[in-house]
Every structure is written in structure tokens, then in C-alpha cells.
Amino acid sequence: MEKKTDFKALSNKAKVQYIWDYYKLHILFGGVIAAIVIGLGYHFITYRKPVLSVIMINVQTTSENAEAAFDEFSDAAGYDKKQQPIDVSANLQFSDDPNATTDYNDYMVLSTMIGAGGEDLFFGTGSVYTDYAEEGALMDLRTYVSDDVLEKYKDHLIYSTDDGESESYPCAIELTDNQWIQKYGIYDSCYFGVFSRSEQKDYYTKFADFLLNY
């Protein structure tokens, strides 16, 4: 019969070796669990919900330049970028060429992002943008843009009827000579609107004022 090890009689080094040899699988598993718990704890402690989540399709520059443009807005608005971050998604590309083999995954990603909610600002070009606008994905500009600004852009408005569910309303603005988007090389011209399910009214209203009066 194998003699049971007298754990108390072992040296500290031997105790460590004994525990490691006999319980290493449990220790490794426990270590993985602990790492996950610590990681999740750190994530939830440090995570800050974006004050604005932005989708920009068909950009002409890098994601870094697009993010830098919003850094300028954050600075102008006096936001702490760590406590009041802005999330910018600027990697999706779509073509209006019927013969183009646009990645199906980009359509699925955009559809999922919009369908899930939580997105606030929408920039883009082309028929993919106007299709979403006309289908009612964007809110009425009159709820967050002043009459004076709407008058200024009256010849550059996109209208929606929410797929025939409502009377026609202005939902997006075509920016043809906006210094902010051109300064960072994001677009030469593009459309801008706010998603109808956005709940960040204070933030998107302030951004719209910044953008449209830049």
C-alpha cells in the first residue's frame, strides 16, 4: 500500500511541487477562470458607453482619419474622450455598379448593426445609403435641426415616407461643400442623418450643429 505523503513535513518548495504535480489541471483551469473573471471585471470597470456611435460607409480615407475628425468635435464640445468616447465604424464599402461583386458580408454587417439599434449617426454615399434613408431608418431632421439650417440646405434634403407608412419628411442632408468632411479627406460629398432609434439626443443635436455650421 502506497504511503500517503505527509504534506506538513514537506519543505515549501516540495509543497509547491506536490500541489503542482497532483492538482495542476485544476490550477490551470482555475487560473483560466480567474483570468476571465479579472478580464471581465476590468472591462466593466473601464468600459464607457459611447456617447455617439457612428457608421460611415464608402469613406475615401482611413478609419484613423475618420476618428481624428470626431476627436476635433469632442475637443470643441469639451468632452473627455476617455469618459465620453465616440465609436466610429468606417470600414464598409458598397458599389452602385450592378456588375460589382461587393462583399455580401458588408451588407450583412451593416444590416445587423442598424437592426440591432444603438447606432446614432449615419454618413455615406450611394444607393445603399439612400435606400436605408427612404425606408425610414433615419429620423426627421426637423426634430434636431433648426429651421434656419434646414432653409440653408433646402435644395439638398433627402425625404422619406418610411416605406409609405407616413407623410414625407426630411431625413438626411446632402453635404456638397462641407469643410469638415473635406478637411479630413473623408468624402468630397456625402449624406448625413441620425438613426431613428438613437436615444442620444443631446449629443447628436450638438454634433449636427457642429457639422452643419462648420
| Contact of 119 with 85, CB cutoff 8 Å | no
| Contact of 170 with 36, CB cutoff 8 Å | no
The reported pLDDT for the residue numbered 45 is 53
Question: What integer is the mean pLDDT of 161-171?
Answer: 79
DSSP code for 195: B
Residue 41 has pLDDT above 80, yes or no: no
Task: Work out the percent of the chain whose per-residue pLDDT is above 90.
Answer: 54
Binning pLDDT at 50, 70 and 90, where does residue 178 land?
Answer: very high
DSSP code for 5: P
Distance, CA of 66 to CA of 213 (rounded, Å): 19
Residues in the chain: 214
Binning pLDDT at 50, 70 and 90, where does residue 66 land?
Answer: very high
pTM score above 0.85: no
Binning pLDDT at 50, 70 and 90, where does residue 95 land?
Answer: confident
Residue 104 has pLDDT above 90, yes or no: no
Mean pLDDT, the chain, integer: 82
Q: Cell 482611413 appears where?
A: 62
The reported pLDDT for the residue numbered 196 is 92
Distance, CA of 175 to CA of 187 (rounded, Å): 9
Helices (H), 80-166: 104-116, 126-134, 147-152
| Contact of 71 with 87, CB cutoff 8 Å | no
The reported pLDDT for the residue numbered 44 is 47
Tens of pLDDT, residues 107-157:
888 888 888 888 999 999 998 999 899 888 999 999 999 999 999 999 999
DSSP code for 91: -
In the chain, DSSP finds a helix count (H) and a strand count (E) of 7, 6
The reported pLDDT for the residue numbered 74 is 95
Spatial neighbors of 67 by CB under 8 A, at least 6 apart, are: 86, 88, 90
How far does Cα 131 stand from its chain's mean position? 20
The reported pLDDT for the residue numbered 43 is 43
The domain ranges of the chain are: 8-46, 52-212
- CATH match of 52-212 with 3.40.50.720: no
Tens of pLDDT, residues 8-34:
566 655 645 555 566 555 545 555 565
The reported pLDDT for the residue numbered 105 is 77
Binning pLDDT at 50, 70 and 90, where does residue 166 land?
Answer: low
Q: Cell 490550477 appears where?
A: 27
- pLDDT greater at residue 16 or residue 84: 84
| Contact of 89 with 155, CB cutoff 8 Å | no
Helices (H), the chain: 12-46, 63-77, 104-116, 126-134, 147-152, 179-183, 201-212
